[in-house]
Amino acid sequence: MPIKIIRNDITKIECDAIVNASNSTLLGGGGVDGAIHNAAGKKLLFECMKLGGCKTGQAKITKGYNLPCKYVIHTVGPKWKDGSSNEESLLKSCYKESLKLAEEYNCESVAFPLISSGIYGYPKDQVLKVAVDMITEFLLDHDMLVYLVVFDKSAFQISEKLFAEITSYIDDTYVDTHFIYNRPRADVCEKSTLLAGTQILPDAYATEACKEPECAVAAPKGISLEEVVNQIDESFSQMLLRKIDEKGLTDTEVYKKANVDRRLFSKIRSDVNYKTSKTTAIAFAIALELSLEETKDFLMKAGFALSHSNKFDIIIEYFIKNGNYNVFKINEALFAFDQVLLGV
């Protein structure tokens, strides 16, 4: 199952377990820790008092009590010093041990905050990298829906360098298409082709002009509509499965790299005419590491296209052109630019 990055209050997430960025006493504190204790009620504190605290990088589990989850996994993140005091390995251990507990308790879904990114002062972009790397590594061998929860956008940062590069690419590529003109018959009537300096005819006039028999679209002679429809090209589902085989990949490798749920992939695989979403189609193109031209052809099979008038599309194009096919890194950038995320 995939990673989903969401902006929400972690105490409101309905899932099997939420992770609490706790202090070593496990008795509550500020930030996420305090919010979770307040929402869960006093019974959580009473159970935590019996656990004898927790070491940095380790994790312990309790019931969820008044929270909309079965369990709370408490983990103690490292305090940031200078980056050379074992902070990264301890932070990685927080995610690893929390995921291990979630698996032991048969959780199908778990929600993480960005551990140590608050009052512990760990740089947010580095926390994000560790979180995504550790969760991604875990999901390669496990099926679990993992939420990465941020309370507000300021808590979620990609590197300033990457943000600047994407912003520059958008500025250089973005096409503003706010001008609209009427051309109701220009697309179907060759005689109405718009040339530079040509006056655009009013709708009523264009309608009448295209009633001429010579402007009508001629149907193929001797071929029924049913026969024409049966000449349909390879479907998106068929092309996806063919590309997987051509790349020498397994189905599991592809849907995990695409950040797509296994059940959704099964639907696409079993239904040759499955109508997928644009974000899912792009996620598979990323997982297959298609070139930009291959991606455009792939999207056409699903009825979509990339456009320079759409920031989402431009960001996707940026990553493909730069050979970066990590769907989770792409989602970080999409989130930073307030765009819809890839996968499910």
Segment 226-247 mean pLDDT: 83
> Exactly one of 16, 33, 261, 313 is catalytic; which is it?
33
For residues 188 and 127, which has the higher predicted lDDT (pLDDT)?
127
CA–CA separation, 235 and 227 (whole Å): 17
Segment 203-226 mean pLDDT: 48
Q: Is 33 a catalytic residue?
A: yes
Buried b (16+ CB within 10 A) or exposed e, 299-313: bebbebebeeebbbb
- 153 phi/psi in degrees, rounded to 5: -65, -30
Residues 6+ apart with CB under 8 A from 94: 57, 59, 75, 76, 77, 78, 115, 116
CA–CA separation, 141 and 220 (whole Å): 53
Average pLDDT score over the chain: 84
320 within 8 A of 292, measured Cβ to Cβ: yes
241 within 8 A of 269, measured Cβ to Cβ: yes
Whether the per-residue pLDDT at 257 is higher than 80: the answer is: yes
CA–CA separation, 46 and 38 (whole Å): 13
pLDDT of residue 63: 97
For residues 323 and 119, which has the higher predicted lDDT (pLDDT)?
323
Strand partners, 73: 19, 61
- 133 phi/psi in degrees, rounded to 5: -65, -45
pLDDT of residue 128: 86
Whether the per-residue pLDDT at 208 is higher than 60: the answer is: no
CA–CA separation, 288 and 286 (whole Å): 5
CA–CA separation, 142 and 273 (whole Å): 29
As a CATH number, domain 3-157 is 3.40.220.10
Residue pLDDT, tens place only, 69-94: 999 999 999 999 988 889 999 999 99
Confidence of residue 95 (pLDDT cuts 50, 70, 90): very high
Closest C-alpha among 90, 58, 50 to residue 74: 58
Whether the per-residue pLDDT at 249 is higher than 50: the answer is: yes
How many CB atoms lie under 10 A from the CB of residue 22?
Answer: 27
Quick one: residue 221, left, alpha or beta (phi over 0 = left, psi -120 to 50 = alpha)? beta
Whether the per-residue pLDDT at 255 is higher than 90: the answer is: yes
166 within 8 A of 313, measured Cβ to Cβ: no
Strand pairing of 69-76 and 59-63? antiparallel
In the sheet with 145-150, reading across from the earlier edge strand, the strands are: 3-7, 145-150, 109-112, 15-22, 69-76, 59-63
Residue pLDDT, tens place only, 29-74: 888 899 999 999 999 999 999 999 999 999 999 999 999 999 999 9
Residue pLDDT, tens place only, 121-167: 999 888 988 998 999 899 888 989 999 988 666 556 666 666 677 77
pLDDT of residue 233: 77
CA–CA separation, 209 and 139 (whole Å): 60
Of 53-62, 123-132, 195-204, 297-306, the poorest mean pLDDT is in: 195-204
- 282 phi/psi in degrees, rounded to 5: -65, -40
Q: Which two tokens stand for residue 1?
A: 């199952």
pTM for this model (two decimals): 0.72
Domain assignments of the chain as residue spans, ordered by start: 3-157, 178-232, 233-344
- 75 phi/psi in degrees, rounded to 5: -135, 145
Closest C-alpha among 16, 5, 27 to residue 339: 5
